[in-house]
């Protein structure tokens, strides 16, 4: 009788519970350590021995029932709570949070790192050289005396200090390395920003990066230069790239060459007969190489004896090769980017593609 009453009272009270606090106090009142059920169980000892097992079972059954009712009520309260909070404030706390934007390396940095990594594998160390140069190192020591017409190739930003300018190319770094390492052999790449006072167009910018290469030793030939560039082109552009070496002129190299790689888009340059690379037939010419089949990638040559001497090396004993390339131009070819201004334009729509 007593247990039945207890059951009814407990369930009625549970039914009336409205919140978690009420549920907790109900729980400790009935199911807790000194709760009603524990008390009821303790009374077993006062009963005559033959009634004890039956009574014990009843208490345990009641305990199970109350526990189950408690769990149901708990779940019900939880659901009510969610429904209430959803109704009260239209904030869905179970929605995933906003993703944190992750930064990434600028495409120019990525390409620069790719290039330097390839040359590192070929044994070239990175040598950093200043961006603010003097006229002497940017031009004169590279075999361009004042009034040399080749200076016209580079429109220059001069500072208000006479003779001090922003380097127009990375080549003056050659002089710095040579003077530091002479008479030891050299194998370095010189990456960095260059500046030219030019009109800004889709193909030219007032600032751009270059990677200069320089190797000096006692038995270095044009074949070493070509082999190095061939390996580089294959690694950078992928596949079996072919190079085309054209005669050219730079004041600081003799002989001087310009180097093309066969067009990575239409590959017309790698056709067996390269003359077939002329724009042919009515089909529109390749947008990348304009139908020529070749892409110009850099200037290079054997270091001019005057430059070697200016760097401290005896040109009768030492030879060297040098090259200069523009990573932005390389990236434009590799990823078919049509406008060099995109690199420093800070447009996320461009930057996020890399």
Sites of contact with ligand DAH (CB under 6 A) = 169, 171, 212, 250, 253, 299-301, 322-324
CA angle 245, 251, 255 (to 5 degrees): 35
Nearer to ligand DAH, 29 or 309 (CB): 309
Nearest distance, CB of residue 303 and ligand DAH, angstroms: 7
Given 3-state DSSP classes, what are the helix, strand and coil percentages for the chain, each rounded to the nearest 5? 45, 20, 35
In whole angstroms, the minimum distance from the beta carbon of 213 to ligand DAH comes to 7
Cβ distance to ligand DAH smaller for residue 192 or 299: 299
User: What are the start-end ranges of the E strands in the chain?
Assistant: 125-126, 132-134, 164-166, 186-195, 207-217, 243-250, 253-262, 294-303, 319-325
Report the nearest approach of ligand DAH to the CB of residue 132 (Å): 17
The CB-of-299 to ligand DAH minimum distance in angstroms stands at 3
CA-CA-CA-CA dihedral for 147, 205, 133, 248, to nearest 10: -50
Given a contact cutoff of 8 angstroms between Cβ atoms, the answer to whether 298 and 170 are in contact is no
Rounded distance between C-alpha atoms, residue 77 and residue 83, angstroms? 10
**Residue nearest ligand DAH (C-beta atom):** 324
Nearer to ligand DAH, 257 or 268 (CB): 257
171/328 with CB nearer ligand DAH: 171
Closest CA to 157 of 175, 142, 135: 135
Place of tokens 């990573």: 327
| 195 vs 294, beta carbon nearer ligand DAH | 195
Minimum gap (Å) between residue 171 Cβ and ligand DAH: 4
């Amino acid at each position: 009788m007593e247990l039945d009453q207890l059951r009814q009272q407990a369930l009625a009270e549970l039914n009336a519970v409205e919140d978690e606090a009420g549920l907790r106090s109900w729980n400790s009142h009935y199911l807790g350590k000194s709760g009603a059920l524990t008390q009821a169980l303790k009374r077993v000892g006062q009963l005559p021995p033959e009634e004890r097992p039956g009574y014990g079972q009843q208490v345990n059954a009641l305990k199970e029932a109350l526990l189950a009712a408690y769990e149901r009520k708990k779940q019900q309260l939880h659901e009510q709570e969610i429904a209430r909070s959803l109704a009260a404030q239209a904030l869905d706390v179970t929605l995933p949070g906003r993703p944190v934007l992750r930064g990434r390396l600028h495409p120019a940095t990525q390409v620069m790192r790719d290039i330097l990594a390839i040359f590192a594998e070929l044994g070239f160390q990175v040598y950093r050289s200043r961006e603010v140069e003097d006229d002497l190192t940017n031009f004169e020591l590279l075999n361009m005396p004042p009034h040399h017409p080749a200076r016209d190739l580079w429109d220059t930003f001069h500072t208000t200090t006479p003779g001090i300018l922003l380097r127009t190319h990375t080549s003056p770094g050659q002089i710095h390395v040579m003077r530091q390492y002479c008479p030891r052999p050299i194998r370095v790449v010189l990456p960095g920003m260059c500046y030219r006072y030019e009109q800004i167009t889709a193909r030219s910018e007032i600032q751009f990066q270059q990677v200069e290469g320089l190797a000096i030793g006692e038995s270095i030939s044009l074949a070493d230069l070509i082999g190095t560039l061939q390996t580089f082109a294959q690694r950078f552009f992928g596949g079996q790239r072919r190079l085309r070496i054209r005669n050219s002129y730079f004041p600081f190299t003799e002989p001087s060459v310009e180097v093309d790689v066969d067009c990575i888009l239409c590959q017309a340059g790698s056709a067996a007969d390269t003359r077939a690379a002329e724009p042919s037939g009515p089909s529109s010419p390749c947008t990348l190489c304009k139908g020529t089949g070749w892409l110009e990638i850099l200037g290079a040559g054997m270091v001019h004896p005057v430059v070697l001497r200016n760097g401290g090396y005896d040109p009768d004993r030492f030879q060297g090769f040098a090259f200069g390339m523009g990573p932005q131009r390389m990236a434009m070819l590799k990823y078919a980017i049509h406008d060099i201004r995109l690199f420093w334009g800070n447009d996320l729509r461009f930057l996020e593609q890399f």
